[in-house]
Structure 1
Amino acid sequence: MSIWWSLHLRREAASVPLARRLLIGTMETAGVHPDISFDLSVALTEACANAVEHAGTATGYSVTAQIDGDRCRIEVADSGPGLPRDRFRHPSRHAPHRGQYAEHGRGLILIEALVDHVHFHDRPGHGTVVAFDKVLKWRDDVLLNAS
């Protein structure tokens, strides 16, 4: 089975749950195990929230998702200024100290923890791309077959 979709969203907080709901609905329809759907939806939420919060003067961002066989790949791209170079290479090395940034600074680390592979690509002057993928597991009652 192969499913592909792409969204172009306004850089507004309300766009984040829209992307998440579309992903969860697609996963549910395809028969993906709920634990995997949850991990991917949290990772997508974090990537979209980063695009909304940090994309500078950009008015929008895009989300592309693809289920191909037993793997899901998601890409979130914006046209903002990008991440600081030191955080970009190793986001997990820049975890906030206890009590510091209680509500910020953990999104990239969370994405890394929830997916199998993640790639952060800085496009100087043209934004940031966060691409990640995860091997899928299927519900026992799945009607569609991944092959």
Structure 2
Amino acid sequence: MSIWWSLHLRREAASVPLARRLLIGTMETAGVDPDISYDLCVALSEACANAVEHGGTAPDGTPQAYRVTAYLDGEKCHIEVADSGPGFRTARRTPRTAPSDAEHGRGLGLIEELADHVQFGNKPDRGGAVVSFDKVLKWRENAPLLAV
């Protein structure tokens, strides 16, 4: 059994907790270990916050939407957040360390620390950034997803 979902969200701050709650609810229901769930929810929040802050605007100046896709199966969770902004300056970024008191600049590094495999890139068609990451899942005893 696997679980897959995709959201098309408005580029506004209120969308970040919505995506996070859907992910945490899915993982709790499926029986994912709470520590793994927490790591993935923090990483998702950072990726969504980046999409909200840096995503594109329509010609009339209104913020464009961004997309969150998550896939859970028996061994891993894969999450992708894509926006319509200018994208990353380079497809491969080098990790940077922001000062501990900085208000910005730590999100992508945090995602790299919390996930097992991370990719930062740009959409080939219309532009925009894509942040995708995977994490190997651990399960609670008698997890519903494993029982099927």
Deviations 1:23-46 (A, max 9, x none): 000000000000000000000000
In the alignment, is the contact (CA less than 8 A) between 2:33 and 2:137 conserved in 1? yes
Superposition deviation, residue 80 in structure 1: 0.5
TM-score calculated relative to the size of structure 2: 0.89
The 1:144–1:98 alpha-carbon spacing in structure 2 relative to 1, beyond 3 Å, is closer
- Which residue of structure 1 aligns with residue 74 of structure 2? 69
The 1:141–1:130 alpha-carbon spacing in structure 2 relative to 1, beyond 3 Å, is same
- Which residue of structure 1 aligns with residue 98 of structure 2? 96
Give the structure with the larger strand fraction: 1
TM-score calculated relative to the size of structure 1: 0.89
1 CA distance for matches of 2:100 and 2:45? 23
2 CA distance for matches of 1:106 and 1:146? 38
- Which residue of structure 1 aligns with residue 143 of structure 2? 142
Given residue 80 of structure 1, which amino acid in structure 2 is its aligned partner? G
In the alignment, is the contact (CA less than 8 A) between 2:77 and 2:137 conserved in 1? yes
- Which residue of structure 1 aligns with residue 134 of structure 2? 133
Aligned residues: 142
Aligned-pair identity (%): 69
In the alignment, is the contact (CA less than 8 A) between 2:93 and 2:120 conserved in 1? no
Superposition deviation, residue 122 in structure 1: 1.6
- Which residue of structure 1 aligns with residue 12 of structure 2? 12
Superposition deviation, residue 98 in structure 1: 5.3
Unaligned runs of 5+ in 1: none
2 CA distance for matches of 1:146 and 1:109? 35
Alignment RMSD: 1.7
The 1:123–1:143 alpha-carbon spacing in structure 2 relative to 1, beyond 3 Å, is closer
Unaligned runs of 5+ in 2: 58-62
